[in-house]
Amino acid sequence: MKNLTRRSMLRTAAGSAAAAYLAKLGLVSPASAQDAPRQGGSLVYAVTSPNNRLGDATNGLHPHHWIDLANRSCYNALVWVDENLELQPELATSWEADEGQAVWEVTLREGVTFHDGREMTSEDVVSSFEFHRVTTSFARQIAGVEAIDRHRVRFHLTEGNSEFPYVLGEYHCMVMPAAEHDEIGMSGIGTGPFKAVSLDPRRSITMEAFEDHWRGAPYLETLQVVNRGGQMEGAVNGFMAGQFDAVTNIDPGFVRQFVNRADTRIVYASGGDQALMILPKYDGSIFDNKLVRQALACAIDRDRIAQIVYGAEGGWIGNDTHMASSDPNFLPHPHKHDVERARALLAEAGYPDGITLPTFYFAPYWPEIPRVFQVMSETLREAGIIMPIEERPNDGYRQWRVEDPEGTRKHRFAYGPVGIRNPGISLYRMRPDNNESGYWSGPGAEEYMDLYHQALLTGDLGARRALYHRMQEICFDEAPAILAVGRRNILIHKDTVGGLANHPQSWSIRFDEVYRT
């Protein structure tokens, strides 16, 4: 594990050749390589993709209801997943599993204080995770958590999970002062670099620097986050007018207008969300035919979609699994665009003259989503595949997409958003009982899940990677779903802002290293 923090690297290297090298690697922004950090100043940033559990006046300071899920401005988790999707210690300093990967002992950082001056101990961690394991889907695998001593805790899982530490870094799994289940987290008190001082429900949160933060006081004196979810144009206009110093997760279609602006920095993350095409496989569905699914996977011109929608830097090519291309376990798709193979597969399936698919539905969760599927629909025509598309409103979309009152597992041919996660979480999303796999079944699905359960019990990373590769190869053959392209998260900020790094998991951005020049 690394003991040298990114902030200490930045402070040592600022204004030097080392700082320029860090900027080249993307670890700091170009501005931070040119100007030494200084204490003081404020930052106001707009978020365009807020928490779908957005809180109100009664619970808006709770980490589950925080405006933009970037909870680490006010809270900390036990673990931080860094920009390369690697695990780094946060409130935990180390973690270790038993041979079965079902019992994990975690050592806590000593000397950490909450905003109210109390020391963080194992009591707070136990109380927090007793709450999370009931209310947070990723944490429901925790059967129980106990304090070993003042700075050590033990997690008991329902079954082995070799990648459990990633759960400890999830955006909902923040550590809060110990309290009863219905009161914990409501105060907004955390261990983060900033402490909340005012809340305008559903609109903004204002924070001040916490001088006693365990990583050292942040550079900024105040930090404000403003909700502009679903208001991309308003957020960009506010940035242009000087209302905001930064905007996270902007539409790649807006990048062009900032490329030549001397006062603006554009920061790409290494990855971001994918656009999932869910292929329903109930009896009578055309997607129950594997040959049709394989033909669809081959016919999509992924490179063309990425280039047209995202440009040279803004997108990445998916491989029809939930894995991200930046993950070292990722395998490129062997047939990512092969029109002749697609036509041959359709002919073998009984469609020598091409095929018209059911209407594909999508909602504009991201502004560019309509463009993704418009371009895709055009590229499919080259292989004789007609795919009508229809946009639906965001409100109520997910319930409408999976609506199945009779439990028949009939659902729509439709889009679903996929966030970037570690392989243990990402590959589990293709499980047969999940709507995202279209309720995939058969020998391939059974082998896939057998391999998955083996991987969860495999502590050795190399052996686990071999299992993950085989799982992806099964998806290449079976095509249970289509994940053709992904977006690289993009943020913009003023050139007077330094140290603002982007992150493929937008909720994992940290602001204590940000400063004004």
How far apart, in Å, are the Cα atoms of 410 and each of 107, 209, 281, 292, 439? Answer: 47, 51, 8, 18, 9
Residues 105 and 172 grouped into a single domain: yes
**Structure-token pair, residue 280:** 């329903």
Could you tell me if 380 and 355 lie in one domain? Answer: yes
Give yes or no: residues 287 and 326 share one domain. Answer: yes
Query: Do 218 and 284 share a domain, yes or no?
Result: no
Q: Name beta bridge partners: 222.
A: 42, 208
Provide the CATH number for the domain around residue 448.
Answer: 3.10.105.10
* 64/179 same-domain check: no
CATH code assigned at 178: 3.90.76.10
- Show pLDDT as tens, one digit a residue, over the chain (517 residues): 333 344 444 333 333 333 443 443 444 445 444 567 989 999 999 999 888 889 999 999 999 999 998 899 999 999 999 988 899 999 999 999 999 999 999 999 999 999 999 999 999 999 999 999 999 988 999 999 999 999 999 999 999 999 999 999 999 999 999 999 999 999 999 999 999 999 999 999 999 999 999 999 999 999 999 999 878 899 999 999 999 999 999 988 888 889 889 999 999 998 999 999 999 999 999 999 999 999 999 999 999 999 999 987 889 999 999 999 989 899 999 988 999 999 999 999 999 999 999 999 999 988 899 999 999 999 999 999 999 999 999 888 988 988 776 666 788 999 999 989 999 999 999 999 999 999 999 999 999 999 999 999 999 999 999 999 999 999 999 999 999 999 999 999 999 999 999 999 989 999 999 999 9
Residue 391 forms beta bridges with which residues?
A: 362
Number of neighbours of residue 324 by Cβ within 10 angstroms: 28
Does residue 130 sit in the same domain as residue 68? no
What one-character DSSP code corresponds to residue 437?
A: G
Residue 244 to residue 231: CA distance in whole angstroms: 14
Interacting residues of 261 by C-beta distance below 8 A, sequence separation 6+: none
Same domain as 419, residue 309: yes
Residue ending a domain, choose from 158, 186, 214 = 186
Distance between CA 480 and CA 427 in Å, rounded? Answer: 12
User: What's the total number of domains in the chain?
Assistant: 3
Which range of residues forms the domain containing residue 337? 274-487
- My answer on whether 326 and 424 are in the same domain is yes
| Claim to verify: residue 311 and residue 356 sit in the same structural domain | yes
Q: Residue 219 in contact with residue 512, Cβ under 8 Å?
A: yes
The CATH number covering residue 216 comes to 3.40.190.10
Residues 386 and 475 in one domain: yes
460 and 430 share one domain: yes
